[in-house]
Structure formats: C-alpha cells, structure tokens
Amino acid sequence: MNGVPTVEQFRDRFVSNLRGHRGVELSFAAPNDCYQALALTVREHLTEQWLDSLQAQLEARARFVFYLSAEYLLGRQLDNALLNTGLHEVAHEALAGLGLSLDVLREVEEEPGLGNGGLGRLAACYLDSLATLGVAAVGYGIRYDYGIFRQAFADGWQVEQPDDWLRLGSPWEFPHPELAVSVGFGGTVDDAGDGRRRWRPETMVAGEPHNFMVPGFRSGTVNVLRLWRARSMHAFDLEIFNDGDYVRAVHDKVMSENISKVLYPDDSTSQGKELRLRQQYFFVACSLADLIANLGRVTPIERIAERAVIQMNDTHPVIAVPELMRIFVDDHGWDWDRAWATTRALCNYTCHTLLPEALETWPVDLLGRLLPRHLEIIGDIDRRFQDELRRRYPGDDERVRRMAIIADGRVRMAHLATVGSTMVNGVAALHSELLRNRTLSDFAELWPERFGNVTNGVTPRRFVRLANPSMARLISEAIGDAWVGDLERLRALEPHADDASFREAWRLVKRANRERAAGHLHDRTGAPIDPAAMADVMVKRLHLYKRQLLKVLSVIAAYQRIKDDPAADVVPRTVVFGAKAAPGYAMAKQVIRLINGVAAVVNTDPDVAGRLVVAYPANYNVTMAEWLIPGADLSEQISLAGKEASGTGNMKFALNGALTIGTLDGANVEIRDLVGPEHFFLFGLTVDEVQARKAAGYAPRAVYEAEPAVRRAVDAIAAGTFSHGDPSVLRPLVDDLLGTDEFLVLADFAAYEACSATVDAAWLDADDWSRRSILNVARCGFFSSDRSVRDYLDRIWHADPVPARA
Ligand code: 26Q
C-alpha cells in the first residue's frame, strides 16, 4: 500500500477521485477538477506515509521538534510532493495516458501564501529539511483564510487585494474538527482555595486543526504541519440567543472566527494590534495543548522535556513561555521552580531582526485585559529575574531597567523570550555577533552560553531541483544526483568550471532560463526584453533598509548617461524588481511608484531601446521566485550594513548561478567568504563605518551637492520626470532622501556605481562569467537548509533522526 503505486494504480485512483470527490466524469472535467483530483490522489499517498512515520517515531521513542511559527510561506505543493515522494514519473504517465498534462495542471494551483517573506519561507524550508533528515517534527501555525495580499498596480501605485486562496478548495489539507481545542480569552483570576490561582476566561474559542503533509525528499518520512483555524465554540451563545439578541449572538460568533481570518501584512514593524496578540495566543495555546495531549499518551508530563523541544520563530510565539508556566503551575499544581526549569528546558528562541522597531512589545493593559493570568505570570518571571540581576549587579539600577521584561508600560517579548529559553540564536554569523554585542548585549554578558548562531539555509529541492530543472540535469550529468540530498557535494563541480564545453553548456542553460523568465515578464509587464541582456534582479519585500531606492537611482543615472550620448556603448541590462510593501508603509509605496514611473519612461524611450529595460511584475511570491531566480545573472543584495539579519534570497540566487553585488550584511558575508572575494561584487560602508558616519552627523544634502550624478538623478525625480511631470507626486520621497536618508542611500551611491561598472566589465567576458557562475554554485552547498537543520539538531534540539521503515 505504501510503496510507489504503478501507473495503472495511480490512474485508477485519480479517476475514482475525480468521480467520487469532484462528481465529474473525465470527459467533462475542468482543469481545476483534474488538479483537485490529482492533489487528492497524491495526498492519500502522503497520508499513508505520515501515519507510518508517526508510528515509527513513537516506537523509536523519538524526541520531537515542535516548530512554532505565525507564518509558513509554503509555495505550491504539487510538484514538491511529486518530487519528494518519487511519484513524478508515475503521475506524469498516468495523466498522459488520460490525455492530460501535468504541465497544465500544476499551473492551476494557488500557492498558500501564509507568510510575509523571509521568516515564513524559512519555516517552510526547515520543515522540508526536517522531514528529509527523518527528524520527528511538527510545525504549528495559523490557517489564515486570507494570506499575504495580492499586489496590483494602478497608475504605478500599489493596491492590495485579498488573497482568497481557499476559493477553489484546498486539496492539500485535512481538517480535523473532532480534534478541536478550546482557548480562553479575557475574564478574571482568583484563588482556587488550594493555594493555586485560577483563570476564569470570559470567552472561549475553538481551534480546529488542519493537517498539511510535509514529505521529506526520498526519506520515506512524512511529517505534519498543523495549522489552527478559529471557530466559535457554540453555533450561537444560548443565553444571548434566549435573550432574543440574535444579532449579538451572530456577532460574537463572527468575532471569534475573525482570529484566523487574515495574515498581518507587516514584515518588520510591530503595531501592537489586539487582534495580532489574539492570533499569537490562539495558535500557541492550541499547539501546546495539542502537543502535551499527544506526548502525554507516551510519556508522563513530568518528563516532557526529554521527549520534546520547542523552537520559537521570532517573538511571535513567545507567549508560549507564560502559557507553559500556567499549564504546569495552575493545571498540574507544580511548584514554580520545577515549572520554570521545565519551561526553559523546552523553549528556544530564534531572533530574525536587528531593527528596533521590529522588536515586539505589548502594552501591559492590553495584555492584562486579554490574558490576565499570563500577565501575572510574566510579572512573577520579571520580579524573579530582576532579583537575580540585583544580586548579580548590586547598585546597577540602570542595567536592571534596561533588561527588565516589563518597562514603560509595555511587555518586551524579546526579553521574555531570552529569559525563558535555553538557547537564543541569530540567523547569520554577523547577525548573531551583532545580537550579542548590541541588541541583546546585556543578556549575552549575563548568560554567554545561551547565545549562538545558526546561519539560515534554503531547500535545494524547491529552489534548485524544481525551479531550475535544466541546470539540475546538467549538474547531475557531471557529478551524479546525490547533491539534491547532500548539497556540499556541489563541490565536485569545481573542476568542471575549467572545462570549456561544460561552461558552454552552462551558458546555454542560463540563457534558456533567461528566455523563460523573459517570456513571463513580457506577459506580465509588456516590457520589451532582450534575453541576451544581463538579467539584474532585486526581489524581496520593499523596505527602506533594503535600499531598492539605491538601485532605482542607479537605473536613473544609467538612463541619463544614455540620453547624454545615445550612441554610447553600454552593457545591456534588464533590471527586474519584485516587491510588496506593507499597506501602511507610505514611504515604501513612494518607492514603488518611482520604480513604476522609471519603467514607464525608460521602456518607451527609443534612445535606450535594447540597452536598458525595467520590469516590475506585480505580486512577487514563491511561484514567481521559482521562474525568476534561475534566469538571473546578477543578484542585488544591497541593504545597509547591519540591517539585514541574514537574507535568504541571496542564497537562492547564488545556488542558481547568479553572481552577487552586495554589502557586508547578513549572510552576504558568508557567501563572499565561501565563493571567494574575487567572485563577489562588494561595495559600501561596513557596519562600523555606518556607525562612524552617523556619529559624525550624516548630511545627505552635502552628498547631493558634491556628486553631480546624485544631483541629476534626484533632480529628475523632483522635477516630476517619472510622475507625468507632476513634482508633487514623489516629493515626500525626495524630501526624505535629502533630509534624513536614514539608510545612507546617497552615502553609498558612488561606491555602488563604481562596483556596477566592474560588473559590466566582467559580463563582457561571457566565458569567464560562466566560470564564476559555476564556482558560485559549487561553493554554496553550505546554504542548504539541511545544513541549517543539522546545526539546530547538534547545538539546540539534540534530537536524532528516525529512519523510516522501508
Ligand atoms: C510582528 C508584529 C505585528 C505584525 C507583524 C509582525 C512581523 C511579521 C513578520 C514582524 C516581522 C516579520 C518578519 C520578519 C522577517 O521576515 N525577517 C527576515 O527573516 C529572514 C529569515 O531569518 C531573514 O533572512 C531576513 O534578513 C529577515 O529580515
């Protein structure tokens, strides 16, 4: 039942699902019917393997990794499931036998975009690697009805539309209403009489789990991602109903179900919204109740920390710390010290930022209103922690104030996380160092052994093998195909970089990928793309610290140089942007308007034809990354040093043979060390130089006055050149740039331009560029999420893989 089915078996199950679950005959089936039936057929297979994996994990008395994340940016499921289970050929042939095309059906799938960007995609990569390594792991999160908004452009401005990903049905999930868990909110706390505190919530909400299967790559292990959907506890509150207030009863039902309605589209500012806190507690409470109930069947709760470890993805799930204390102390009657030791033994915290505005804090009164018992517990944790600090640093009240969990009327979640965890890690070497020396330096001084690094990684299955099949084939022909499950084996490619015919084949692959991407870009934007031009790509969330603005200024300067001398010899580039801005982030939306304005001018100017094209397709997402990144030649990683925690797009590009132009920020540092400085286009201020420059009183206007190219580019924006001649449209952006320029765009402009010129020169030697491209891939095996997960296993989780049964 469990092995790979034959083509005939697969075909029969598919047809039977088409009839039984879609209620259509093959001859009448629409593409969506066929896609849904196909997905169900694959899901059946996955579910069987999941049940077997779970059985094996329980029998082996495995230690389980529980990954808690408010976001999972999964991307499309079909191809990944077929690749990992080895069903691809069987499905392809079964469909072909019925006159259906897998290539057509895969395009029907709507990607579940239940995350904002890097943090959510990282969670998805880690689930893939955990299953690939055969680790017993469960992902927990929220099943949002609406994921990250769909982006469209109107007159160059971003407009947001709801992401109705469930509209055509969701064949990959298994709802389990019978396993619903109840979660309390609000109410009061009193003494239970036996010395215990008792929380009496005012309202209860049900959490209904939805299981998504997570197949490992050829490992036989299938794990589960369990996402919670909020449901009202009772169809209608009977008392209210009997009072005759029917509308209020319905209103209350709607209010509780709102909890899992929509993903918050902010990726690095915490707005302190009540619903957001409700979401966090909702999924944490459901997940902890679920994991305790399940492990409780095989292990007494007293020994839970031997069988479980919890990883908190940023501070979003950190309410888990007081929730565990509440469960142990209030529900199980443990004394504080034992409860605290167990809580801390279970929990670990990954920090994903350095930006102060991204560190979550909640107003004390809001937290107390929603979770009164948790606020009491946090207060107790804080009091004990401060006592410890005063013993350790007598008289240093300033330090105690800096480190407090509750201060200035707010609860600091990063402090709570650090105090409540065994290990705290950053996501790249530089980031972890800055965490230790700056952001959390007081804590690192107190508990140096708690701080570590795990450099991020990405799954080579989705981002190389599936996204770039022709490069994958070429690599496998040269070195065999074991690299897909063991990415360091890419090292074996190094000698092939010296083989002229291999370089030629590589160049053809890159060219074909560029053509595929150019076709998509043309369909979406109408931009006149020459597939021979260098594909220069910057895709990531729109944020001022990432400096898309630096790239646009450089495009404007290039445009102006061509206008000065239309006959000049320039290296043709296709500059591609992809980026969503948080809906409330006005300055980021100005940058979007500017990019679209520049594209409109540049792409229609006959003077530049064929030499500079700007393509900005709307709605960058995982699916777009999968066709765009393999076609890229140049990867733009140009954040201001000290701001990007890691970046993971940088790794995806490098592993697809793009060369990087970038600053010494996040994981760029490690990419450069591995590929060799001569194969990385480095520019820009370092972390220390940024600090010095700011300390000396940075004045962007002085740069504007001193550098003619900066002045001309900024003047063109200010004059309305890219906004139908209306200077007022982008004035806020120009004022911000000349007035503050918080992220030193103008300070780094000249260095970026100079570096860009070296890129042009390098590109002209196409054969040598291919050599560098091959070496990039060969040397980036380190950035597999399999390696990251092994690092977590060795340094934090201490869990052993469980081999799947044959
Ligand atoms: C918090 C509170 C309220 C509303 C929203 C949020 C929120 C949501 C998402 C805050 C932050 C995020 C996401 C952050 C994120 O994606 N960080 C990125 O994480 C990547 C994976 O580690 C890194 O590679 C990136 O450098 C980092 O920016």
Whether 129 is in the pocket of ligand 1, judged by its Cβ within 6 Å, is no
pLDDT value of position 241: 52
Closest by Cα among 250, 247, 278, 244 to 262: 278
pLDDT at 242 over 70: no
| Strand, helix or coil for residue 666 | coil
State mean pLDDT over 691-716.
Answer: 98
pLDDT at 1 over 50: no
pLDDT tens-digit map of 151-191: 999 999 999 999 999 999 999 999 999 999 999 999 999 99
- Residue with the smallest CA separation from ligand 1 atom 7 is 267
Hey, what's the torsion of the CAs at 139, 145, 146, 148, to 10 degrees? Answer: 0
pLDDT band at 236 (very low <50, low <70, confident <90, very high): very low
Cα–Cα distance, 357 to 691 (Å, whole number): 18
State mean pLDDT over 685-704.
Answer: 98
With the most atoms of ligand 1 within 8 angstroms of its CB, the residue from 73, 116, 360 to mutate is 116
| Strand, helix or coil for residue 139 | strand
Whether 666 is in the pocket of ligand 1, judged by its Cβ within 6 Å, is yes
What percent of the chain clears pLDDT 90, i.e. is strictly above it? 94
With the most atoms of ligand 1 within 8 angstroms of its CB, the residue from 72, 277, 352 to mutate is 352
Residue for token pair 């996402």: 227
| Strand, helix or coil for residue 659 | strand
Whether 644 is in the pocket of ligand 1, judged by its Cβ within 6 Å, is yes
Whether 776 is in the pocket of ligand 1, judged by its Cβ within 6 Å, is no
pLDDT value of position 2: 61
- Residue with the smallest CA separation from ligand 1 atom 9 is 267
pLDDT band at 64 (very low <50, low <70, confident <90, very high): very high
Q: DSSP letter for 804, please.
A: P
Whether 626 is in the pocket of ligand 1, judged by its Cβ within 6 Å, is no
- Residue with the smallest CA separation from ligand 1 atom 2 is 270
Q: What is the DSSP string of 605-671?
A: -TTTTTTEEEE--S---HHHHHHHGGG-SEEEE-PPTTS-S--SHHHHHHHTT-EEEE-S-TTHHHH
Whether 281 is in the pocket of ligand 1, judged by its Cβ within 6 Å, is no
State mean pLDDT over 632-644.
Answer: 98
Instruction: Write down the pTM of the prediction.
Output: 0.97
Q: CA-CA distances (angstroms) from residue 535 to 254, 613, 617, 632, 727? A: 48, 10, 14, 5, 31
Phi-psi region of 732 (alpha: psi -120 to 50; beta: other; left: phi over 0): alpha
pLDDT tens-digit map of 510-561: 999 999 999 999 999 999 999 999 999 999 999 999 999 999 999 999 999 9
Active-site residues, by number, are 352, 540-541, 546, 648, 652
pLDDT value of position 243: 64
pLDDT value of position 754: 98
- Residue with the smallest CA separation from ligand 1 atom 4 is 270
pLDDT tens-digit map of 187-217: 999 998 888 999 999 999 999 999 999 999 9
pLDDT at 258 over 80: yes
How many C-beta atoms surround the C-beta of residue 119 within 10 A? 26
Whether 268 is in the pocket of ligand 1, judged by its Cβ within 6 Å, is yes
pLDDT at 262 over 60: yes
Paired sense of beta strands 157-161 and 150-154, if any: antiparallel
pLDDT tens-digit map of 600-632: 999 999 999 989 999 999 999 999 999 999 999
Cα–Cα distance, 645 to 351 (Å, whole number): 9
pLDDT tens-digit map of 84-96: 999 999 999 999 9
- Name the more confident of 242 and 51: 51
- Name the more confident of 233 and 481: 481
With the most atoms of ligand 1 within 8 angstroms of its CB, the residue from 121, 148, 268, 668 to mutate is 268
Cβ atoms 381, 321 nearer than 8 A: yes
- Residue with the smallest CA separation from ligand 1 atom 24 is 647
pLDDT tens-digit map of 416-444: 999 999 999 999 999 999 999 999 999 99
pLDDT value of position 670: 98
pLDDT value of position 803: 81
Distance 353 CA to ligand 1 centre (A): 7
Atom of ligand 1 nearest to the CA of 115: 9
Cα–Cα distance, 775 to 252 (Å, whole number): 60
pLDDT value of position 240: 52
State mean pLDDT over 310-330.
Answer: 98
Distance 358 CA to ligand 1 centre (A): 8
